[in-house]
Structure 1
């Protein structure tokens, strides 16, 4: 009578381990050292958003054709999202943590200064951006501009630190690094708004810089957002680009959650490729929206080659996504993958 020894079960490589456990570890509060000053800033921005909503309901004043409390509402929501995301990203770092903590703290201070000025001028019923009509307005605008340059530079620093740190799951790593780079570019697009227009130089009235291309600031716009519906608006590519910092990591997290139910996504190869497709599509979208703004087209009325290019980008992204999922390997066949 002979005994047959069953073959040993090979250990599951960490590269193909289902990502659910790593995801829970990365997101749970005890598992990440959240950057507390940035978390505090996010909470303060939620409070400011509530105050702004109350202001919209009770205060009927307008600035440049928009409710006076619309700008504090937009900026508080955007800043809250940015701050909590950055607090999470800093918590992902295992190297250069002190440098990242200092950078995060300075970012918190700079953004707080900007939002105090925005809210203060809103309460006074005056515009804060591009306003150089008096020494006080010029000083406030200069402080805001300096604060944003500081935040922009520190975003680049944190991007470098993210590239110097292991971030666990390869798809999440790509999403975080690509997200912060596109966000850095998106934030930089704000500089396109700071120069005086030809009309402002010909008839200076204390405003130097503009959001819109093809007409003056103000006029018809999307509710709350205020983005022009009759001309190009540089705020849109700035906003979309900046928030890649949230969108791309969310894509990676959703893929990790789907991987618990779809075996083809459990291996890292397919998820890395899907994140790469999402990154390329997002970057192309930012470029197209910037192109649309620069040629003076409203976001709601694209024309000429822009909608054609957008359709081609969407078609390519959907096709590549379908091909990637169909050809995805099971975790066992993907065991040797290294990004």
Structure 2
């Protein structure tokens, strides 16, 4: 079954708990938007409801995708069903704690200001670790998924792997900052342990809603970009399949598969690039010449790869056939 045929299938025929939770997160996102207008409080310079909004949108996309991916498995579907259900429960628990802290007007992540806040963050950290393990299991099971479209075959697998890397990159934010270490060495317990801004304290100027720092590096960017490869790479395969009727060259499944491979390599390079940029304390909106040079090289490499994929004679070898 192709990705287009799957999209036409009613989502309730996929993993129902994940589908239902995706719609619940979409509803939560709407409520958070209303909260932005009704509750004018801010935290570290950002609206108090911005973080729950971002997590709700991200969760809706994430679980709608997993609901579809689980339906592709010809084997181990029962195992995947339970693992995905656990994944839903873990994310739901984290979201409840995150929202509770927002209602209280305090930070959810890295917060150790009080014993209660520290315990909340510790529980969330355990949930995130378990969520990573569950995602790892599902990513391994994806190798057994079956798609007739070769582009979808590679998009699903590379999307899963890069998404897993994106989740792992979130660990970069848990290390104490130099300022926090200095306080600890002086015998003072810092209220926060960890942070997302490199080179500056959290809470400076940032992009609207996203909040990504416009003054320093921001480790949330590679975490976000990497995690959503799970949606964007299958969307690339979907787009190529949809364009096949208009552009005859894309009618060949091997050509689409090579384009997806080029896109996947480029996406992995982008995750590496934004991680490198953030670790250097450089804002996403203020790249220096070295970053621009690296980005240009990446764009050139992907472009050449795409041109080679289109110009290469079609081969009937079973590239990426279903398992």
TM-score by length of 2: 0.93
- State the distance in 2 between where 1:85 and 1:49 align: 17
- Which structure is larger by alpha-carbon Rg, 1 or 2? 1
Output one character per residue of 1:67-92: Cα deviation in whole Å (capped at 9) or x when no partner: 10110011110111101011111111
**Paired position in structure 2 for 1:237:** 222
Alignment match, 1:280: 265
Tell me the C-alpha RMSD between the 2 structures. Answer: 1.6
The answer (yes or no) to whether the contact 2:25–2:56 under 8 Å persists in 1 is yes
Report the Cα distance in structure 2 between the residues aligned to 1:46 and 1:24, rounded to whole angstroms.
22
Give the drift of 1:224.
0.6
1:299 positional shift: 0.4
Counterpart Cα distance in 2 of 1:33 and 1:174: 23
The answer to whether residue 91 in structure 2 is matched with residue 111 in structure 1 is yes
Among 54, 66, 91, the residue aligned to 1:86: 66
Partner in structure 2 of residue 210 of structure 1:
195
Q: Is the 8 A contact 1:128 1:137 kept in 2?
A: yes
Q: 1:63 aligns with which of 26, 35, 43?
A: 43
> Does structure 1 retain, via aligned residues, the 8 Å contact 2:226–2:271?
yes
Return 133-142 or 239-248, whichever deviates more: 133-142
Q: How far apart are 1:321 and its partner, in Å?
A: 1.3
Unaligned 5+ segments in structure 2 are 184-188
**Matched residue count:** 315
Is the 2:12–2:19 Cα contact (8 Å) retained in structure 1?
Answer: no
Change (3 A) 1:212 1:166: same
Shift of 1:30: 4.9
Is the partner of 2:258 in helix, strand or coil?
helix
Aligned CA distance change for structure 1 residues 338 and 221 (closer, same or farther; 3 Å) = closer
Separation of aligned partners in 2, 1:238 and 1:291: 12
Instruction: Give me the whole-angstrom Cα distance separating, in 1, the residues matched to 2:89 and 2:11.
Output: 26
Once residues 79 and 23 of structure 1 are traced to their aligned partners in structure 2, the CA distance between those partners, rounded to angstroms, is 21
Indicate the SS of the match to 2:100. helix
> Aligned pair in 2 of structure 1 residues 92, 48: CA closer, same or farther (>3 Å)?
same
Q: Residue 150 of structure 1 corresponds to which residue in structure 2?
A: 130
Check whether the contact 1:264–1:328 (CA below 8 A) recurs between aligned residues: no
Which residue number in structure 2 is paired with residue 46 of structure 1? 26
| Pair 1:199-2:179 in alignment | yes
**What is the deviation of 1:290?**
0.1
Aligned partners of 1:32 and 1:91 also within 8 Å: no
Task: Report the Cα distance in structure 2 between the residues aligned to 1:90 and 1:267, rounded to whole angstroms.
Answer: 26
* Aligned with 2:295 (options 295, 310, 331): 310
2:79 and 2:296 map into 1 onto residues whose CA distance is 43
1:226 deviates by 0.6
Q: What is the match of residue 254 of structure 1?
A: 239
CA distance 1:152–1:65, shift in 2 (3 Å):
same
Report the alpha carbon displacement of residue 325 of structure 1 after superposing the two structures with TM: 1.9
1:4-39 Cα offsets, whole Å, 9 max, x none, are xxxxxxxxxxxxxxxxx7344322225983111111
CA 1:103–1:170 in structure 2 vs 1: closer, same or farther (change >3 Å)?
same
Gaps in structure 1 of 5+ consecutive residues: 1-20
How far 1:191 moved relative to its partner?
0.5
After superposing the two structures, state which structure 1 stretch, 41-50 or 174-183, moved more. 41-50
